[in-house]
Amino acid sequence: MKFSCFPVGFVRLSLSLYLCWSLAAEAQLAIEITGAGANRIPVAIANFAGEAQGGPTLTDVVRRDLERSGLFSLVNAGDAALSETAAVDYDGWKLLGADALAAGSLRRNTDGRMEARFRLYDIGLQGNLGGAAYLAASPQLRAAGHRVADYIYEKLTGEKGVFSTRIAYVHKTGGRYELRIADSDGQNAQTALVSREPIISPAWSPDGARIAYVSFENKKPIIFVHSLTTGARQVIANFKGSNSAPAWSPDGRRLAIVLTRDGNSQIYTIGANGGAPARLTSSAGIDTEPQFSADGAQVYFTSDRGGSPQIYRVAATGGVAERVTFEGSYNVSPRPSPDGRNMAFITRQDGRFQLAIMDLQSRQVQILSDFGRDESPSFAPNGRMIVLATEVNGRGVLSAVSTDGAIRQRLSVPVGDVREPAWGPFPR
Amino acid sequence: MGKMISWIFMTLALASCTTTGPETDAAPVEDRSGVARVDADSVQRGNLPDILTKGALSRRSVYFALDRYDIEEGYRDLVAAHARFLVENRDFRVLIQGNTDERGSREYNLSLGQKRAEAVRQTLLLLGVQETQVEAVSLGEEKPRAEGHNETAWAENRRADILYSGEF
């Protein structure tokens, strides 16, 4: 039921689908594809042998993941099941237009858990590209499906898939704020924190176990670190004034944070369990939005020290800051890419707030998104997509765009505003 | 339907490796999906004397121009009145909350709101209020008094509020 209600490809939600979807789980994020890559790889995912028909299936999860990525087009594999041990009719699949085929099986082990086995074939080369097997309790079959999709994605594109990752975001309805964690396909959304006061700036720990964020529950911004599985929360920074903008170092040992205990917003670092903060930047104006580079050597940040908000970077050990953006009068929210080559940020042009990406070598800037109210970008851990918050028809929605601008998705909920997305790390 | 519901809502259980796959050992699908829920609501309010809730001292808001954080002429008397009260009543403490309109980066707006709150705090200190009596914080764009998306609402939200102990 729930799966049949999920929007697929370019098909928009019809009213009836919308209703049953909202009944099934109004908390889920609906992901709608609004743009796809120009050269998509045609791939066939045969029904896995042993799957119960009529209900949601693991192969559905695999297909939707691959299709949603915008890099694949699905070749209709028909209704027949095909196990990983069956012979492959390469000529037949070639006639159907498939470049690759996945076949597999699902069976119940003696301990009651399900085992998904599959193999991937190159139709043109008539060869076996490899395979894997995943064991999961029945309710976790979707997670196994994401693993299968990640495997296929990596074999066919050469980069790691992000289907098994999670996305954190803040859902606001009326005066109620919820920090939610959803799977990368928007499903399985769970609430980590609910509050009547704002929650902003969620940041995943590198191991994906904790999230740092700013909560206003004590009438002022305070930084917490929250363990997702236990719900245990620790106040990391509650100094005089405002405490905000937490960003983890890549080794997970420290956070860069913003404190105003000495007047204006300035950047400090602090241990992941709190302790005494060490000042990193020193200016007469605003310094905020710190973000570590992927190698941990640099901290990018926003500062108005030059008269308008611009992006700077400084060695993580301190020193003289170097200005990174020069065009325009408002460049904020720097996000260095996972490979260290690019930096996503928000720029204001003619009153419109847009997502831009800069090649840090050539300093070339490209506008990736132009809803007019783009905020809070966050890279997928493989660097392919950037999720951001924006506004469509007066409501807060999330949008994801590939770094080449070709692939576009919209993530929304039926009621309320979605904002402050943070894409989680690869699973360990 | 029951089966489908269970598919959707059943608690996710830990999986591990026991058998082998076509090429490799079966990889356990780690359970990362358990998320505990916390409720942060906790609000108490004390009672304030009439002098702070009626008359001149009931005015608590200082408004700012776009991108500005200097206190305009029209609000200096208001801030001075609160300074006089705080000098005469050393037991009272205030929290200055700075606010911005909704446009632009949330974190940058938090810093801009802090500058506005800090401008009020500095003025109070200049007029004799003690450091221990006043704290400046920012709410950025997070707590708009006016919910609209137009210039009127934005102007209302570019503001610093003076809150007395018991109000925060």
Tell me, yes or no, whether A132 and A196 share the same domain: no
Smallest Cβ distance to B42: which of A192, A217, A258? A217
> For position A54, which CATH number holds?
3.40.50.10070
Tell me, yes or no, whether A274 and A355 share the same domain: yes
Tell me, yes or no, whether A179 and A108 share the same domain: no
Within-domain flag for A19: no
Interface A:B, Cβ pairs < 8 A: 232
Within-domain flag for A13: no
Q: How confident is the model at residue B45 (pLDDT cuts 50, 70, 90)?
A: very low
| DSSP state string for A238-277 | --SS-EEEEEE-TTSSEEEEEE-TTSS-EEEEEETTEEEE
pLDDT score of B8: 37
Contact flag B40-A193 (C-beta cutoff 8 Å): yes
Tell me, yes or no, whether A101 and A174 share the same domain: no
Indicate the number of domains in chain A: 2
With a cut of 90, say whether residue A248 has pLDDT above it.
yes
With a cut of 80, say whether residue A10 has pLDDT above it.
no
Q: Which residues in chain B are contacts of A216 at CB distance < 8 A?
A: 139, 142-143
pLDDT in tens, B76-98: 999 999 999 999 999 999 999 99
Asked if A259 contacts A277 with a C-beta cutoff of 8 angstroms, the reply is yes
pLDDT, average across residues A69-82: 93
With a cut of 50, say whether residue A3 has pLDDT above it.
no
Tell me, yes or no, whether A148 and A170 share the same domain: no
- Cα separation, A13 vs A324, in Å, equals 42
Residue carrying the six token digits 């964020």: A213
Tell me, yes or no, whether A121 and A257 share the same domain: no
pLDDT > 70 fraction of chain A, expressed in percent and rounded:
93
Q: Which residues in chain B are contacts of A238 at CB distance < 8 A?
A: none
Closest Cα in chain B, distance from residue A98 (Å): 22
Task: Please check whether residue A53 touches B, CB under 8 A.
Answer: no
Which DSSP helix (H) or strand (E) runs through A105?
Answer: strand A100-108
Tell me, yes or no, whether A355 and A404 share the same domain: yes
With a cut of 60, say whether residue A22 has pLDDT above it.
no
Residue that is last in its domain, among A157, A180, A215: A157
Tell me, yes or no, whether A184 and A137 share the same domain: no
pLDDT in tens, A119-173: 999 999 999 999 999 999 887 889 999 999 999 999 999 999 999 999 999 999 9
Residue A115: give the domain boundaries: 36-157
Residue carrying the six token digits 């206003």: A216
| DSSP state string for A129-141 | EEEEEEEE-GGGH
Q: How confident is the model at residue A25 (pLDDT cuts 50, 70, 90)?
A: very low
pLDDT in tens, B4-17: 444 333 333 333 33
pLDDT score of B55: 86
Smallest Cβ distance to A228: which of B28, B35, B149? B35
Within-domain flag for A415: yes
Tell me, yes or no, whether A390 and A338 share the same domain: yes
Tell me, yes or no, whether A79 and A216 share the same domain: no
Lowest average pLDDT, out of A10-24, A57-71, A115-129, A265-279, goes to A10-24
Task: Please check whether residue A83 touches B, CB under 8 A.
Answer: no
Other Cβ atoms closer than 10 A to B144: 19
Contact flag A195-B40 (C-beta cutoff 8 Å): yes
Distances (CA, A) of A73 to A40, A66, A69, A76, A401: 6, 8, 10, 10, 18
With a cut of 60, say whether residue A79 has pLDDT above it.
yes
pLDDT, average across residues A391-404: 92
Tell me, yes or no, whether A181 and A145 share the same domain: no
Please, which residues have CB within 8 angstroms of residue B93's CB and are 6 or more apart in sequence? B132, B133, B134, B135, B164, B165
Within-domain flag for A23: no
Closest Cα in chain A, distance from residue B55 (Å): 25
Within-domain flag for A267: yes
Q: How confident is the model at residue A28 (pLDDT cuts 50, 70, 90)?
A: confident
- Cα separation, A356 vs A374, in Å, equals 10
Where does B50-164 sit in CATH, by number? 3.30.1330.60
Within-domain flag for A1: no
Lowest average pLDDT, out of A248-252, B36-40, B46-50, goes to B36-40
- pTM for the model stands at 0.85
Smallest Cβ distance to B7: which of A56, A244, A353? A56
With a cut of 90, say whether residue B46 has pLDDT above it.
no
Q: How confident is the model at residue B36 (pLDDT cuts 50, 70, 90)?
A: low
Q: How confident is the model at residue B51 (pLDDT cuts 50, 70, 90)?
A: confident
When comparing pLDDT for B147 and A155, which is higher? A155
pLDDT, average across residues B108-126: 96
Please, which residues have CB within 8 angstroms of residue A16's CB and are 6 or more apart in sequence? none
> For position A340, which CATH number holds?
2.120.10.30
Tell me, yes or no, whether A139 and A175 share the same domain: no
Q: Which ipTM value was assigned to this complex? A: 0.87
pLDDT score of B66: 86
pLDDT, average across residues A78-101: 95
Q: How confident is the model at residue A412 (pLDDT cuts 50, 70, 90)?
A: confident
Q: How confident is the model at residue A23 (pLDDT cuts 50, 70, 90)?
A: very low
Smallest Cβ distance to B29: which of A143, A190, A194? A143
Burial-class residue B131 by CB neighbours within 10 Å (0-12, 13-18, 19+).
exposed
pLDDT, average across residues A320-333: 96
Share the mean pLDDT of chain A. 90
Task: Tell which residue, A39, A154, A91, has the closest CA to residue A406.
Answer: A39
pLDDT score of B54: 84
When comparing pLDDT for A9 and A424, which is higher? A424
pLDDT, average across residues A59-66: 95
Asked if A163 contacts A64 with a C-beta cutoff of 8 angstroms, the reply is no
When comparing pLDDT for B42 and A107, which is higher? A107
Residue carrying the six token digits 């949008």: A399
Asked if A245 contacts A257 with a C-beta cutoff of 8 angstroms, the reply is yes
Within-domain flag for A10: no
